[in-house]
Amino acid sequence: MHASAVGWEPELAELRERQRLARELGGTERVARQHAGGRLTVRERIDRLLDHGSFREIGSIAGKATYDAHGNIVAFTPANCVFGRGTIDNRPVVVAGDDFTLRGGSADASIKGKPKMSEEIATQFRMPLIRLIEGSGGGGSVKTIETTGRANLPGGLTETTSFDLVANQMSQVPVVGLGLGSVAGLGAARLVAAHYSVMVKEIAAVFVAGPPVVERLGEPRTKQELGGWQIQLQCGAVDHAVDTEDEAFEATRRFLSYLPGSIHDLPPRVRGWDNPNRRDEALISVIPKSKKQAYHMRRIIGALVDKDSFFEMGALFGRSIITGFARLDGWPVAVMAGDPLFDGGAWTADACSKIVRFVDMAQTFHLPVVHLVDCPGFQVGLKAESTAVIRWGVRALAAINQTTVPWCSIVVRNCYGVGGLGHQPVGHLCLRYAWPSASWGSLPLEGGIEAAYRAEIDAAEDPDAKLAEIEERLNRLRSPLRTAEAFWVDEVIDPRDTRRLLCDFANLAAPLRTPGPSAFGMRP
């Protein structure tokens, strides 16, 4: 009786001992080194990111064990990927993290099935995926050649890599990548193959290859000089940077709050206390009378959306366009807005690249788009031509016109030229309002008058006076009210009524949102 009561307890005791060994990660010394560098361990990160007590680990005792002559375990090195399921704000997610205390997060200490399964579970069970990245996460270090006796051919066999899963996730479920230390090679690729990526400023650096490699090529650089947050945010490789790991986890929670669990669901509504009929009196004078004077578009966004709901992404890249999520009467929407503080709001090649990625994300996850328009057209000049602005601009126009989600445009000021075509899609009905400050045309009058009326101006006794006369005449004709006579714009509105109309739009758009895959898949 006593023997049967014992049952499988010895085996369970061994399981618990193996799990205890796995939780020691790379050992006391390496964990202390991780903390000394100002970084949390992978398990600490998971505990702080997820709802308390919600983590359900998968592969908890995967690793490499050594045994004595009697088959007893004498040493155990866990795999350096920790992953499983959990919840964030009571919504299920998958989280996978690199353990830098084991071979610096490289694949030498990994079991490829673990990160691969994290990607598969997220897709199969339709849950957002968060990657906690620190290390190379690729084919291992140079030492791999010695430990395996051969060199790896990248992607040599289909089962040796899961990058197809990494790339395909972006058209299936929300993906967040957090750079939480040195991130190189395939680790860097996994970081940016996400809808939202974040670096921790003083501890993270992201690069294709680290300083030792580039120094051998004749370019000595520190980690921060080569791949610090300022480099990666300004070039658009990474979306955001924060001061602490806890701030990165909070940014992750906020980002996911605007999105569905997968493309097979719809973004959730979160009702707040903000009145949809609220009128901000400052909006009546926020746009300067002088077209040469800039203004702060973010103040306008803050006045129109639900209070404190604007979540900006990519703030330091493509700065003539502002992109982010917000709520209108509780409904999540994608917001795009021109920023005249940078390049006068003209669409640069970088801004167009940013637009493509953003509207593709809105289309993928069924978010209606609100566009606050102030675009004098594509950037012009040698710098613009040297960056292929017209090609990137056409890609942005194509991406906008491929969207099928509901769309509402508010023409705040400028809407000119080929770039102005991108103020909304032309393939389906969209709502479009204009403020009295709106101004549009094939070309801005400034500069265009001199070209169109060159002969008349040159023949005048006073060319400057003639130019001023022509400009005054044309300005009277370009009033948005004249365009509204021909019903080329839905309504010219009082700026103070904008929030009410946008909240109306969000409520109209809500039942039109359709779950399921888009006609095209989003790429990294």
pTM: 0.91
Strand partners, 73: 67
For residue 333, what are the contacts with CB-CB under 8 A and spacing of at least 6? Answer: 305, 325, 326, 327, 367, 368, 369, 370, 506, 509
DSSP 289: S
Whole-number pLDDT of residue 28:
86
Give pLDDT tens digits along the chain (524 positions).
455 667 898 889 889 988 988 888 878 889 899 999 999 999 999 999 999 999 999 998 888 888 888 888 878 888 888 999 999 999 999 999 998 888 765 655 457 788 889 999 999 999 999 999 998 755 555 666 666 666 666 665 555 456 778 888 899 999 999 999 999 888 899 999 999 999 999 999 999 888 888 888 888 888 888 889 999 999 999 999 999 999 999 999 999 999 999 999 999 999 888 999 999 999 999 999 988 899 999 999 999 999 999 999 999 999 999 999 999 999 999 999 999 999 999 999 999 999 999 999 999 999 999 999 999 999 999 999 999 999 999 999 999 999 999 999 999 999 998 999 999 999 889 999 999 999 888 766 565 666 677 778 778 888 888 777 777 777 776 788 888 888 888 999 999 999 999 999 999 999 999 999 998 888 88
Which of 298, 306, 300 is CA-nearest to residue 286? Answer: 300
Terminal-to-terminal C-alpha distance of the chain: 61
Residue tagged 């090649």 (tokens): 349
DSSP 267: P
State whether residue 75 is helix, strand or coil: strand
Give the span between the Cα atoms of 187 and 284, in whole angstroms: 49
Kindly list the structural domains of the chain, giving each domain's residue range(s) and its CATH number in brackets, ordered by start. Answer: 8-257 (3.90.226.10), 281-438+489-512 (3.90.226.10), 443-478 (no CATH)
Give the span between the Cα atoms of 35 and 246, in whole angstroms: 15
Whole-number pLDDT of residue 283:
97
Whole-number pLDDT of residue 373:
97
Whole-number pLDDT of residue 160:
46
Residue tagged 């491929």 (tokens): 402
